[in-house]
Chains A and B, each alone.
Chain A
Amino acid sequence: MKEIIFIFLSFMMTLSTVNAQKGINFSRNYAAGGKLLMSVDSSAKNVFYVNMFPNQPRTSFNYLPEVNKVSININFRKDINIQHYRYTILEDNKPIVVNKSINIAELKELNRGDEELFRSTTLGTFPIKGKMITTLIYSIEKPLDIDKSVFYGKPIPKAKIQGFSKRFATDKGVDYSWITDLKERINLTLTNKDEELTIVKDRSDIDYLYHTSIKDKQTNKIIFESTSWEYGGLVVENEFLPYVEIDKNVFKKSGDYEIIIQPSIKWTGCLDCDISPKEIEKYITRHTLSITLEEENYTRKELLIYTLIVALFIGLVFLGILYFSKKRNKRMLAEKEQQRNRAKLQLTSIRSQLNPHFLFNALSGIQNLMNKNEIDNANKYLAKFARLTRNVLDDKELISLSQEKTLLDDYLQMEQLRFGFNYEINYSENLDLDNIEIPSMLLQPFVENAVKHGLSKKGNDGKITITLIKQSNDLVLTVTDNGNGFDTENKSNGLGLPLTEARIALLNSVYKENRFTLAMQSSTNGTKISLTLTDWL
């Protein structure tokens, strides 16, 4: 269509001199929509011709704010049946020509310079200042295809928003709430129940001209555009008012939005148009909508509170768990410590039970030395006895291997005073006797057993061998005798064994990282006891 208009345009340039009239520059033609061309005052500028609109394919809008008179021509291609055409002209919506046929006699043939011939005639020259001339042209073959051209000689009125309404859901359906007191800035709260926002504009002859858009002021992006209006709802002077509906979801966030309603005139890109942005702004209606999304607001505040409450609760629970676990740990530690102390105490009481029978017999042995006038020996054994009892009375938890060896030497030599037997104490050379410590009196009960059950009857043939061996990280202590042996199952036999077993159990409960294991082998050829202190070294 535009293409055709431009063809006409160049063609009409040549025609202009022929129809020269006063005031109108006929040499300059503007397309005016459909089959029409127009010429305007020679002084006129800012001729915004052939503005077209969505959903209005046959309407052309010519905005002529500075024009006094307009001359309208109609042009037909050669093959068109001109007799079928009728035209109507309205001035401010009042008909001045109705359904008139084209006067064939007045048609002039025009050669536009190429092979096609056009036939043209004038529809008239009209004063346009402050008026609106509308032409309706159709062929009786297609009476619904009416080409409508509007020549608008008035200033385009600025759109006026009559009101906003919110549609919200109710129990029975929907209802509307209205804001009609409009200011530059409008505060609007959208709740959960609200569904859409309606903008109602004032009624005009040229509603189709107006374009509505909504701009998010924070991002400066257009979030909504509408070029068409619906009619209904509000009625003013028996006419429905035009409105646009905006879904609530268009507004994603609370904040300021700008509602812009402006005529869809191509302010630039026309011939001879020179209009400043300030001038254009006069045609634009702007309102700032300050939207508060209550749902979001609610969520935000409540979320914060809820988050705080939940965090507080979790924190409290966590603290509680921490407190209780700490308390329990403390109690368990205390219990363990108590257990350990108890075990230690029991260990002490067991340890100090150096057989009194041995003690007094040993003293008796020393008495014998004295009575035999073996004064040096008596001194020697008395010293040993003192050292032995001191070890028991000292009640140390740990003593070095060399101390234990001395203790065993003392003990065995005291026993040798009572019974004749031989003994030897062997140890691994890589064992640091002075620095490795073991629970004191650990081996003494086993050695005592060896003496008591193994050797006391054998006299000088008896032999006890004690070994202290390093086996990787374990310390292995053995006591071997060549006595008559005893029944390892019969634990009630003698004082030493049950006591010793209790002691091993206690040691295991005190030294949890190191296992104390006791192995006993007994036959008629002798008894071997080995005590392993795992990971001791």
Chain B
Amino acid sequence: MRAILIDDEISNLENLRTLLEKHCPQVTIIAVAQNVSDAVDAIEKYLPDLVFLDIQMGEQTGFEVLKQLPKRNFEVVFVTAYDQYGIQAVKFAALDYLLKPIDIEELVDAVHKAKHKLAAQMQTSQLDFLLQQLKKPEANVSKIALQMQSEIRYVTLSEIIRCEADNTYTHFFLEDNEKILVSKSLKEYADLLRPKGFLRTHQSHLVNPKYVKSWLKEDGGILLLLSGEKIPISKPNKHSVKQALQQL
């Protein structure tokens, strides 16, 4: 895979180069760039397979690079030291990211996934989705990208009835009775969706309050959904769930 590294700090570029050369021999670094315009030029010139893109670059962001490219025929791995908002958007788009200092396993894993996606040729729509989401204020984000085995599904949040953990996987139960299995833990989605009003009733359950029918007192508390499903409420979550439901 031919890769371009984009970071405003030389030491970061050096570091990433060192790590890639050592742990990801399948990656060839064809160029590096330290600012947005150099990056756009380099990508247009070298047409890389993979771009390691620093989100925070001085006073600009790596997203600028993506916006300025009409065609994005490459995989992107975002790299950031600390960037709450940017990372959130990246997560909603189910894109890959690395945190500095770089964890070698995460790096290897990201390169691996990128290779897989390149083979499946399904990356570009995610970047479009990301750029769309970035245009809106954070509160208006209403869709989430779900990475499935062989496709990306963009799901409206109001469509999601509930999520259920299955080890490191998560089942999404949608309004039209569709069930989606995503290879990410429920915890990650709980972090993303709780700010959107989803209720963590149980360590294995995340529920969209829109689909709650009633609170059953049997077995110390159970949520009855409109679909007729019964979702357990664990003791530590009882209070917060009750409060959240009362506010609706």
Whether A and B are associated in the same complex: the answer reads yes
Residues of A whose CB lies within 8 Å of any CB of B are 356-361, 363-369, 371-372, 417-420, 452-453, 456-457, 494
Chain A positions within 8 Å of B75 at CB level: none
Number of B residues with CB within 8 Å of any CB on chain A: 21
Smallest CB–CB gap between A380 and chain B, Å?
14
Chain A positions within 8 Å of B100 at CB level: 360-361, 363-364, 367
A367 touches B101 (CB 8 A): yes
B99 touches A368 (CB 8 A): no
B82 touches A368 (CB 8 A): no
With A363-B101, A364-B11, A418-B9 as contacts: A357 and B82 at CB distance below 8 Å? yes
With A366-B101, A367-B101 as contacts: A361 and B12 at CB distance below 8 Å? yes
Smallest CB–CB gap between A80 and chain B, Å?
143
Residues of B5-48 contacting chain A, CB below 8 A: 8-12, 14-15, 18-19, 22, 35
Chain B positions within 8 Å of A358 at CB level: 81
Residues of B whose CB lies within 8 Å of any CB of A are 8-12, 14-15, 18-19, 22, 35, 56, 58-59, 81-83, 99-102
Tell me the bound Cα distance from A417 to B18 in angstroms: 16
A361 touches B15 (CB 8 A): no
Smallest CB–CB gap between B73 and chain A, Å?
29
Tell me the bound Cα distance from A246 to B130 in angstroms: 121
With A367-B101, A418-B9 as contacts: A357 and B15 at CB distance below 8 Å? no
B83 touches A372 (CB 8 A): no
A456 touches B58 (CB 8 A): yes
Chain B positions within 8 Å of A366 at CB level: 101
Tell me the bound Cα distance from A305 to B65 in angstroms: 96
Chain A positions within 8 Å of B19 at CB level: 371
B12 touches A453 (CB 8 A): no
Closest 5 CB pairs of A and B: A368-B15, A360-B81, A364-B100, A367-B101, A371-B18
B18 touches A364 (CB 8 A): no
With A368-B15, A372-B18, A456-B58 as contacts: A419 and B101 at CB distance below 8 Å? no
Chain B positions within 8 Å of A419 at CB level: 9-10
Question: In chain B, what residue has the closest Cβ to A420?
Answer: B10
- With beta carbons under 8 angstroms apart, the residue of B12, B35, B58, B59 that contacts A364 is B12
Chain B positions within 8 Å of A371 at CB level: 14-15, 18-19, 22
A356 touches B15 (CB 8 A): no
Question: In chain A, what residue has the closest Cβ to B14?
Answer: A368
B11 touches A418 (CB 8 A): yes
Chain B positions within 8 Å of A361 at CB level: 9, 12, 81, 100
Q: Could you give 30 example pairs across A and B, Cβ below 8 Å?
A: A356-B81, A358-B81, A359-B81, A359-B82, A360-B82, A360-B99, A360-B100, A360-B101, A361-B9, A361-B81, A364-B9, A364-B12, A364-B15, A364-B102, A365-B9, A365-B11, A365-B15, A366-B101, A367-B100, A367-B102, A368-B11, A368-B14, A368-B18, A371-B14, A371-B18, A371-B22, A372-B18, A418-B9, A453-B59, A457-B58
With A360-B100, A371-B19, A372-B18 as contacts: A417 and B83 at CB distance below 8 Å? no
Question: In chain A, what residue has the closest Cβ to B99?
Answer: A360
Smallest CB–CB gap between A355 and chain B, Å?
8
Smallest CB–CB gap between A448 and chain B, Å?
13
Chain B positions within 8 Å of A452 at CB level: 58
Smallest CB–CB gap between B97 and chain A, Å?
13
Smallest CB–CB gap between B56 and chain A, Å?
6
Tell me the bound Cα distance from A358 to B12 in angstroms: 12
Chain A positions within 8 Å of B18 at CB level: 368, 371-372
Chain A positions within 8 Å of B56 at CB level: 357
Tell me the bound Cα distance from A61 to B14 in angstroms: 151
Tell me the bound Cα distance from A368 to B9 in angstroms: 11
Smallest CB–CB gap between A356 and chain B, Å?
4
- With beta carbons under 8 angstroms apart, the residue of A356, A360, A417, A456 that contacts B11 is A417
Chain A positions within 8 Å of B99 at CB level: 360
Tell me the bound Cα distance from A494 to B99 in angstroms: 22
Tell me the bound Cα distance from A372 to B22 in angstroms: 11
A364 touches B22 (CB 8 A): no
Chain B positions within 8 Å of A418 at CB level: 9-12
Tell me the bound Cα distance from A367 to B12 in angstroms: 9
Tell me the bound Cα distance from A400 to B11 in angstroms: 32
With A372-B14, A456-B58, A457-B58 as contacts: A364 and B81 at CB distance below 8 Å? yes
Question: In chain B, what residue has the closest Cβ to A367?
Answer: B101
Smallest CB–CB gap between B205 and chain A, Å?
32
Smallest CB–CB gap between B110 and chain A, Å?
16
Question: In chain A, what residue has the closest Cβ to B15?
Answer: A368
Tell me the bound Cα distance from A335 to B35 in angstroms: 52
Question: In chain B, what residue has the closest Cβ to A361?
Answer: B81
Tell me the bound Cα distance from A368 to B21 in angstroms: 13
Chain A positions within 8 Å of B59 at CB level: 453, 494
Inter-chain pairs besides A363-B100, A365-B9, A456-B8, 4 sampled, C-beta below 8 Å: A358-B81, A364-B12, A367-B101, A418-B9
Tell me the bound Cα distance from A100 to B19 in angstroms: 173
Tell me the bound Cα distance from A86 to B29 in angstroms: 174
Tell me the bound Cα distance from A360 to B58 in angstroms: 15
Smallest CB–CB gap between A159 and chain B, Å?
113
Chain B positions within 8 Å of A417 at CB level: 11
Smallest CB–CB gap between B232 and chain A, Å?
37
Question: In chain B, what residue has the closest Cβ to A365?
Answer: B11
Smallest CB–CB gap between B210 and chain A, Å?
35
A356 touches B58 (CB 8 A): no
Chain A positions within 8 Å of B15 at CB level: 364-365, 367-368, 371
Tell me the bound Cα distance from A360 to B59 in angstroms: 17
Chain B positions within 8 Å of A369 at CB level: 11
Chain A positions within 8 Å of B10 at CB level: 418-420
Question: In chain B, what residue has the closest Cβ to A366?
Answer: B101
Question: In chain A, what residue has the closest Cβ to B101?
Answer: A367
Chain A positions within 8 Å of B12 at CB level: 361, 364-365, 368, 418
Smallest CB–CB gap between A417 and chain B, Å?
6
Smallest CB–CB gap between B80 and chain A, Å?
8
A357 touches B81 (CB 8 A): yes
Chain B positions within 8 Å of A453 at CB level: 59
Tell me the bound Cα distance from A372 to B19 in angstroms: 10
Smallest CB–CB gap between B113 and chain A, Å?
22
Tell me the bound Cα distance from A357 to B9 in angstroms: 12
